[in-house]
Amino acid sequence: KTGRSPRDKRVVEESATVDDVWWGPVNKKLSAESFAANYERAANYLNTQDHMYVFDGFAGWDPRYRIKVRVVCARAYHALFMNNMLIRPTAEELENFGEPDFTIINAGQYPAEEFADGMTSSTSVAISFERRQMVILGTEYAGEMKKGVFTVMHYLMPKAGVLSLHSSCNEGPRGDVSLFFGLSGTGKTTLSADPARLLIGDDEHVWTDTGVFNIEGGCYAKAIDLSAKKEPEIFNAIRFGSVLENVVYDEQTRAVDYSDRSITENTRCAYPIEYIPSAKVPCIGGHPKNIILLTCDAFGVLPPVSKLTPAQAMYHFISGYTAKIAGTEEGVTEPEATFSACFGQPFLVWHPVKYAQMLAQKMQEHNAHVWLVNTGWSGGSYGTGKRISLKHSRAIIDAIHSGELEKATYTNYGAFNLQIPQAVFKVPDRLLNPSDAWTGNPEEFSSTLAKLAQLFQANFKTYADKATPDIVAAGPQL
């Protein structure tokens, strides 16, 4: 497969965790008996192979919270992928590794029994917290292992009293740390790979009482249309040891055509984090000063940047609005408006409000500034407008980090009650207000804005009963 299969993810219903898990479409229940059958099916397949690969690594750079992960698979590609994505132990750590805290059994070449209890297809990605195992059948997409580890940490860390986050993270010359939230395709990896700042990590972090740490030892970047000019840090990280996925290349010269979409839009590269020259190793930083919520608005009515109040920050964090980008999940061929709680709903284990409450507490304790940054469409909806250019998104991020936007003059923006700056260095003024940038008629803009506001309101009804009145009121008002 060329992308994740969220509909085939299962969590075993077990007495120790049944009251913790947010059951529903994200976490579908699987019986212990069905999981055991899947494990046996995977183990039997692996036992028939001429070669088997085992990789031991860590998840989490902070020794207080790291877990030991063992990967057992039949493909060298999968072992190398996880060698890049987990934290690679030293020779001494490997010698004293002992028993793992969690084991991934990847028999992705072999199908699941789709007519067995709890299965809906020949693909199965199942996690048992009690057995401390993950079993993969019927998909060879390596990203399932990466996100499986994150799902495990997304359960264990809040249970330990620290906050796991689907975010990238970097650090400025003055030690100022920024967190970037956003689903795949919003620019999270690209915008955090900034040569002027140290990269702590591109996707998964934990915020503790001492600051933040990266869960991973590598980066997993989208490679579609990659070029040395647009994304030099990522482009230059593709060298011996990196893993390219879903790409088309010339078999004679081995030159990759990064513009080729014939397999999928979801072309990827996995590489050790130290392949980024500006990586900070160990991948640990202080408390964040700026929190940036990235969204890819397919309607073209959200501003490129707006400053959020604490209540608005919670509202937009819980909402997690973006557009699914073609290729990241199977069956998605063009941007599709969606809401993904905490900017990472497919990986949540606890109820979204638990993560939001922990984040609110951290923000308050450390006086963090929160920004909503739209890297999606401007001038019109998808199909008529244009994607906001990377250079303008970078200029906005630079203005946040320089402190320019802290001192800026703001105006109020419509139904969403957002505060948008009147000017940003190197960004056209007309781009900052979506109503000014809109190329269609004003009535069309108003109706599109109202449509998105209604989608926000309808989505938030799911969480309104557990949210405080000020958070509910921080959403769009028609």
45 vs 423: CA distance, rounded Å: 60
295 vs 302: CA distance, rounded Å: 9
Residue 351: helix, strand or coil by DSSP? coil
Q: What is the per-residue pLDDT for 328? A: 55
**Pick the catalytic residue: 41, 75, 88, 188?**
188
Specify burial of residue 145 (Cβ count, 10 A radius: 0-12, 13-18, 19+). Answer: buried
**Pick the catalytic residue: 78, 222, 268, 369?**
268
Tens digits of residue pLDDT in 288-308: 999 999 999 989 999 999 999
Q: Given the structure tokens 């990266």, which residue do they identify? A: 214
Query: For 35-72, b where at least 16 C-beta lie within 10 A, e where not — what string?
Result: bebbbebbeebbeeeeeebebbbbbbbbeebbbbbbbb
Q: What is the per-residue pLDDT for 325? A: 57
Using only C-alpha atoms, what is the Rg of the chain?
22
**Residue 166: active-site member:** yes
203 vs 188: CA distance, rounded Å: 8
Query: What six digits make up the tokens of 420?
Result: 């948008």
Q: Is the sign of the CA dihedral 253, 254, 258, 260 positive or negative?
A: positive
217 vs 282: CA distance, rounded Å: 9
Helix (H) or strand (E) holding 269: strand 268-272
Tens digits of residue pLDDT in 75-131: 999 999 999 999 999 999 999 999 999 999 999 999 999 999 999 999 999 999 999
> What Å distances lie between residue 3 and 20, 48, 79, 336, CA to CA?
28, 27, 18, 16
Query: What six digits make up the tokens of 406?
Result: 């802290």
Phi, psi for 329 (deg, rounded to 5): -120, 150
Query: For 233-271, b where at least 16 C-beta lie within 10 A, e where not — what string?
Result: bbbebbeeebbebbbeeeeeeeebebeebeebbbbbbbb
Query: What six digits make up the tokens of 444?
Result: 């069309």
Q: Listing from the earlier edge strand, what are the strands of the sheet with 243-245? A: 218-222, 268-272, 243-245
- Whether residue 100 is preceded by a cis peptide bond, meaning omega within 30 degrees of 0, is no
**Residue 159: active-site member:** no
Q: Listing from the earlier edge strand, what are the strands of the sheet with 53-59? A: 28-30, 9-12, 124-128, 133-137, 102-107, 67-73, 53-59
Q: Given the structure tokens 């109020």, which residue do they identify? A: 412
User: Of 135, 154, 153, 126, which is closest to residue 31 (Cα–Cα)?
Assistant: 126
**Pick the catalytic residue: 4, 88, 280, 324?**
4
Phi, psi for 102 (deg, rounded to 5): -150, 140
**Pick the catalytic residue: 124, 128, 139, 184?**
184
Residue spans of beta strands (DSSP E) within 66-109: 67-73, 102-107
Residue 114: helix, strand or coil by DSSP? coil
DSSP state of 389: P
**Pick the catalytic residue: 139, 189, 192, 381?**
189
**Pick the catalytic residue: 62, 202, 203, 398?**
203
Specify burial of residue 351 (Cβ count, 10 A radius: 0-12, 13-18, 19+). Answer: middle
Task: Classify residue 304 as left (phi > 0), alpha (psi -120 to 50) or beta.
Answer: alpha
The neighbouring-strand residues paired with 435 are: none
**Residue 366: active-site member:** no
Q: Do residues 471 and 318 lie in contact, with contact meaning Cβ atoms separated by under 8 Å?
A: yes
Q: What is the per-residue pLDDT for 51? A: 96
Angle value at C-alpha 360, between 355 and 362, nearest 5 degrees? 95
Residues of the chain with pLDDT under 70: 324-335
**Pick the catalytic residue: 41, 66, 68, 147?**
147
**Residue 184: active-site member:** yes
Q: Do residues 399 and 432 lie in contact, with contact meaning Cβ atoms separated by under 8 Å?
A: no
**Pick the catalytic residue: 166, 280, 324, 401?**
166
pTM: 0.93
Q: Do residues 415 and 477 lie in contact, with contact meaning Cβ atoms separated by under 8 Å?
A: yes
**Residue 430: active-site member:** no
Q: What is the per-residue pLDDT for 335? A: 62
